[in-house]
Amino acid sequence: MKAWRTTGTAGGLLLTTRPAPEPAADEVLIGVEVCGICRTDLHVIDQEIPPHRPTVTPGHQVVGTVTAIGSAVDTVAPGDRVGVAWLRRTCGACAYCRRGAENLCERSEYTGWDADGGFAEVLAAPAAYVYPIAAGADALETAPLLCAGIIGYRALTRAQLPPGGTLGIYGFGSSAHVTAQLAMAGGARVFAMTRGERNRALARELGLAFVGGEQEAPPEPLDAAIVFAPAGGLVPVALRATAGGGTVVLAGIEMSDIPSLGYTESLFRERDLRTVTANTREDGARFLALAANLQLRPTVTAVPFDGLAGAIDDLRQGRTSGSLVLRVA
């Protein structure tokens, strides 16, 4: 099969040919249709997060069809259409797993980081961690929901946005543009503060209440804010823009250093600062059902399989908007 792999050096990515994987007893083998391209994939390729394998196939927003199952699998069958997300496996026995916080499991594994992911024609994944995908669902529109959407949903949940409240979004990439639609569907007014005219144009197209630069003050105090951009310098900006009792959520897996925070201007008046770490399978199931009910539609640019390296560079250089999705089959 054809598969993209990191090279072991920062920024390295090669298209290779190698044998297809064999599913373990609890795994399924999936013929990949498409795989969303996430900023986390860029972090893996550029080694902005510590490498977990010398070389790995990135990609963790997969839509495909099960072609084979392991000997212990009885919940998924060949021919089923499934989605694969970032969370690949947890221990199931630690205190975090037992209390329903499997996203904090210290032995958790991740698709495209600990094990080969979806930038390949074939993928092996644990059956207990795949999501059912409707046969008629559009693969290109579904793929970004499997990480950008799920993480945005978790961030929005942790933001504790009151009904009809004002939500500030800092950075307006793949996850942010899905989250904005979800928040607006719930009655929120959403303000986007972001760099790049492509991102600002998309925010205006989606009907946000305010669109400005990433350092620009929103027109009124925020009830909650989510920082999607991996820029620590935006954290005090978002906190200062948030009203007393409000919450700022940091939604990325990686972020540059956060500057020193002045207590009175940034945190006093019971402003909360929270982070998001991966997601639980319950998050994924709830969000995918909600997305189907609301008919959420990511803005998608399809990328041919041999064009992945160029698309990754476009993402690296800020030349994209919405979601990029790799066509595999």
When the pLDDT of each residue in the chain is averaged and rounded to a whole number, the result is 97
Indicate whether 107 and 7 sit together in one domain: yes
Indicate whether 128 and 173 sit together in one domain: no
Q: How confident is the model at residue 256 (pLDDT cuts 50, 70, 90)?
A: very high
Tell me what pLDDT residue 90 has.
98
Indicate whether 29 and 112 sit together in one domain: yes
Q: How confident is the model at residue 240 (pLDDT cuts 50, 70, 90)?
A: very high
Could you tell me the CATH number of the domain that includes residue 305? 3.90.180.10
- Residue matched to tokens 């986390």: 40
Tell me what pLDDT residue 73 has.
98
Extract the runs of DSSP E, i.e. beta strands, from 1-97: 2-6, 13-17, 27-37, 62-69, 81-84, 87-89
What is the spatial distance between Cα 55 and Cα 144, in angstroms, rounded to a whole number?
24
Q: What are the pLDDT digits (tens) for 282-296?
A: 999 999 999 999 999
Indicate whether 118 and 6 sit together in one domain: yes
Extract the runs of DSSP E, i.e. beta strands, from 165-229: 166-170, 189-193, 210-212, 222-227
Is 19 in contact with 116 (CB distance < 8 Å)? no
Indicate whether 154 and 133 sit together in one domain: no
Could you tell me the CATH number of the domain that includes residue 195? 3.40.50.720
- In terms of residues, how long is the chain? 329
Q: What are the pLDDT digits (tens) for 2-50?
A: 999 999 999 999 999 999 999 999 999 999 999 999 999 999 999 999 9
What is the spatial distance between Cα 159 and Cα 314, in angstroms, rounded to a whole number?
30
Residue 281 lies in a domain: no
Which residue from 154, 135, 129, 158 is spatially nearest to 60, judged by alpha carbons?
A: 129
Tell me what pLDDT residue 152 has.
98
Residue 205 lies in a domain: yes
Domain end marker among 275, 290, 319: 275
Q: Residue 95: which H helix or E strand, with range?
A: helix 95-98
Number of structural domains the chain divides into: 2
Task: Print the domain residue range for 170.
Answer: 149-275
Indicate whether 23 and 103 sit together in one domain: yes
Please state, for a pLDDT cut of 90, what percent of the chain lies above it: 100
Residue 27 lies in a domain: yes
Residue 285 lies in a domain: no
Residue 72 lies in a domain: yes
What is the spatial distance between Cα 126 and Cα 25, in angstroms, rounded to a whole number?
9
Residue 118 identity (one-letter amino acid):
G
- The separation between CA 100 and the C-alpha centre of its own chain, rounded to angstroms, equals 20
What tokens were used for 276? 């998001």
Residue 200 lies in a domain: yes
Indicate whether 168 and 105 sit together in one domain: no
Q: What are the pLDDT digits (tens) for 184-230?
A: 999 999 999 999 999 999 999 999 999 999 999 999 999 999 999 99
Q: Residue 176: which H helix or E strand, with range?
A: helix 174-185
Indicate whether 133 and 154 sit together in one domain: no
Indicate whether 127 and 185 sit together in one domain: no
- How is residue 33 annotated by DSSP? E
Residue 142 lies in a domain: no
Beta bridge partners of 111: 115
Indicate whether 98 and 222 sit together in one domain: no
Indicate whether 64 and 25 sit together in one domain: yes
What tokens were used for 321? 């908007």
- Burial (CB count <10 Å: 0-12, 13-18, 19+), residue 71: exposed
Which pTM does this prediction carry? 0.96
Residue 262 lies in a domain: yes
Indicate whether 18 and 133 sit together in one domain: yes
What is the spatial distance between Cα 2 and Cα 18, in angstroms, rounded to a whole number?
7
